[in-house]
């Protein structure tokens, strides 16, 4: 990459139109980030420590907790450093790495949501064949596919972005290195890279969203056919948390990357929801709406309290 640029670093100017609010935002985002890490660590611990949760559904949920810890960690620490008054500079390679891992983790997590929707579809629409269909090899294959899709997309976007020459201004009017913020700084024509980036990210998000809609349409039809009200309620409760998390995740991505003319202020708000708030909400959604996870969390917290007292 160094052969294509004269710049050694970029300056991240932070969240647009928030001058004078740095201290307040630092406190708010620090709390959200720490709560996200703590909440997902507790969910992951509850799943690992409870043998009754060693099923495909909770295997995917455990991986989602890992993604929800890693995804905000790509952008949040640097943003908090800037808000606290420390250096706003990020190295050229650091900027490229931030863009790569942001899209790698985001795309892989989107594919994981679709895998979780497929798991719920099989569990409700084909319950007698569930263990046969969702055997360990299939689960691992779905996760591996999610990782490969994320890696491929992130590699393409990073390559298109950083093969351009950056020789002029290095001030990124944003709080992290993303395509809409970095590409306008290129000295060469960045139209192709912008089209490739927006089209690929938006198209992948839209396709994954449509796959989830198809699975949940079939699930909804199957639930309506259940005779007992208790059975319908149980089936709905297992899906409602996942569907809520998906709405929080896909909405921001589609809004950002399918806009004909992106607005920096709207993009910043939506990215904050996607990067920081959504991973925190996932831990709340799955812990509050899932009885098995709540029971396991209570056991974990009870053991922690007993150990601290002893």
Tokens 């449509």 correspond to: 210
Q: What is the pLDDT of residue 187?
A: 85
pTM of the model: 0.86
79-137 confidence digits (pLDDT tens): 999 888 888 899 999 999 999 999 999 899 989 989 988 998 998 889 899 999 999 99
11-27 confidence digits (pLDDT tens): 998 887 778 888 999 99
Q: How far are the Cα atoms of 181, 200, 256 from residue 262, in angstroms, in the given order?
A: 10, 16, 7
* DSSP sequence for 128-197: GGHHHHT-HHHHHHHHHHHHHHHHHHHHHHHHHHHTS-B-S--EESSSS--HHHHGGG-SS--HHHHHHH
Q: What is the pLDDT of residue 255?
A: 63
Distance CA 126, CA 114 (A): 17
Higher-scoring residue by pLDDT: 208, 152: 152
Q: With bands split at pLDDT 50, 70 and 90, how would you rate the model's confidence at 252?
A: low
Q: What is the pLDDT of residue 309?
A: 65
Distance CA 247, CA 282 (A): 11
- The pLDDT mean for the chain works out to 82
Q: With bands split at pLDDT 50, 70 and 90, how would you rate the model's confidence at 254?
A: low
Distance CA 284, CA 288 (A): 6
Instruction: Give strand pairing partners of 91.
Output: 9
Average pLDDT over residues 211-232: 81
And the tokens for 54? Answer: 């060693």
Q: What is the pLDDT of residue 6?
A: 65
Q: What is the pLDDT of residue 146?
A: 95
The sheet carrying 171-172 orders its strands as 89-91, 9-12, 171-172
Q: What is the pLDDT of residue 5?
A: 46
**Closest listed residue to residue 279, CA positions, set 57, 109, 104:** 109
Instruction: Give strand pairing partners of 41.
Output: none
| CATH code assigned to 2-309 | 1.20.1070.10
What contacts 258, CB < 8 A, 6 or more positions away? 198, 202, 206
Distance CA 204, CA 113 (A): 13
Residue 308 has pLDDT above 70, yes or no: no
């Amino acid at each position: 990459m160094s052969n294509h640029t004269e710049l050694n670093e970029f300056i991240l100017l932070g969240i647009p139109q928030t001058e004078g609010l740095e201290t307040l935002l630092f406190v708010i985002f620090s709390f959200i980030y720490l709560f996200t890490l703590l909440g997902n660590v507790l969910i992951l611990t509850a799943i690992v420590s409870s043998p009754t949760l060693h099923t495909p559904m909770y295997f995917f949920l455990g991986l989602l907790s890992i993604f929800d810890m890693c995804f905000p960690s790509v952008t949040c620490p640097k943003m908090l450093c800037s808000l606290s008054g420390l250096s706003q500079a990020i190295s050229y390679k650091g900027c490229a790495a931030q863009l790569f891992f942001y899209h790698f983790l985001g795309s892989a997590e989107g594919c994981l949501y679709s895998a979780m929707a497929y798991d719920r579809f099989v569990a409700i629409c084909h319950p007698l064949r569930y263990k046969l269909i969702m055997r360990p090899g299939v689960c691992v294959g779905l996760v591996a596919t999610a990782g490969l899709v994320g890696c491929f997309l992130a590699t393409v976007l990073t390559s298109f972005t950083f093969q351009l020459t950056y020789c002029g201004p290095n001030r990124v009017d944003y709080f992290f290195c993303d395509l809409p913020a970095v590409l306008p700084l290129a000295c060469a024509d960045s139209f192709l890279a912008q089209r490739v980036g927006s089209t690929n990210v938006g198209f992948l998000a839209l396709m994954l969203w449509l796959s989830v809609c198809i699975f949940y349409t079939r699930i909804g039809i199957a639930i309506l056919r259940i005779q007992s009200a208790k059975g319908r309620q149980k089936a709905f409760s297992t899906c409602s948390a996942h569907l809520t998390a998906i709405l929080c995740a896909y909405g921001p991505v589609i809004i950002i990357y399918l806009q004909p003319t992106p607005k920096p202020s709207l993009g910043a708000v939506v990215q904050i929801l996607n990067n920081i708030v959504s991973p925190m909400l996932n831990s709340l959604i799955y812990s509050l709406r899932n009885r098995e996870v709540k029971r396991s969390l209570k056991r974990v917290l009870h053991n922690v309290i007993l150990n601290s007292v002893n």
